[in-house]
Amino acid sequence: MRKLAAGNWKMNGTLADLAELDALALACAEATCDILICPPATLIHPMVARIGGGGISVGGQDCHAAESGAHTGDLAAGQLRDAGADHVIVGHSERRADHGETDAAVAAKAAAAHRAGLRSIICVGETEAQRDAGDTLDVIARQLAGSVPECATADNSVIAYEPVWAIGTGRTPTNDQIAEVHAAMRRALAARFADGAEMRLLYGGSVKPSNAAAIFALPAVDGALVGGASLKAVDFAQIVAALDAA
């Protein structure tokens, strides 16, 4: 299974930050894992133009479920594809929280991404209250069942486990907690999809150079979805190197 180091720039970055991309491409020229950056939509095409054909893929952070139409401010998966993206994140907890996205809405977005020829990165994760209540595995099972569409395959879908309370906080679950959730996700996907055991599972939430190697050593962790530490090439390159070494 090919490993994937994915960076989510969230609402950060302007054209001036494309220099970070050059630095990343240089630092990761020998990398063997897949590398993806999901910048703000305004930077998708400039990034692809800058590194087109190189070893770094470019993705969107969200897409609409419809192909086109009267949806002011939204972007269709086909438009992301047209701009040069080959992946799109759907169901990030910040979109679920800020925009009220339900599991069904996320599944519809992932299906739209697949129809447009994009690979979806489908995010799930429990809140701190859910973890404290002992509901983590139930929440993840429910989100997987509702957010991963029937058309998902190991080729067109990647699943990212991002505990909400670990995002941008510097806190991470214990290695045992990450391994427990990833094992449960692997089992659930293998039971539902013919090639579900082959779907790549990413961990996300405060991944940084100092903890990446320990996380990548865990079973059923096939890479990471990285926020803050993907903004600086020097940090993200170290995470890529840790994944390559795992």
Which residues participate in catalysis according to the annotation?
92, 162
- Whether the CB-CB separation of 160 and 113 falls below 8 Å is answered with no
**Of 117 and 168, which CB lies nearer to ligand 13P in the complex structure?**
168
Residue in the shown chain whose Cβ atom is closest to ligand 13P: 227
Interface positions with ligand 13P (CB under 6 A): 8, 92, 162, 167-168, 204-207, 225-229
**Of 77 and 122, which CB lies nearer to ligand 13P in the complex structure?**
122
Question: What contacts 90, CB < 8 A, 6 or more positions away?
Answer: 62, 63, 106, 109, 110, 113, 120, 121, 122, 123, 147
- How far apart, in Å, are the Cα atoms of 63 and each of 34, 134, 155, 160, 181? 22, 32, 19, 17, 26
- Whether the CB-CB separation of 59 and 41 falls below 8 Å is answered with no
Distance in Å, CB of 72 to ligand 13P, minimum: 25
**Of 161 and 193, which CB lies nearer to ligand 13P in the complex structure?**
161
Cα separation, 138 vs 134, whole angstroms: 9
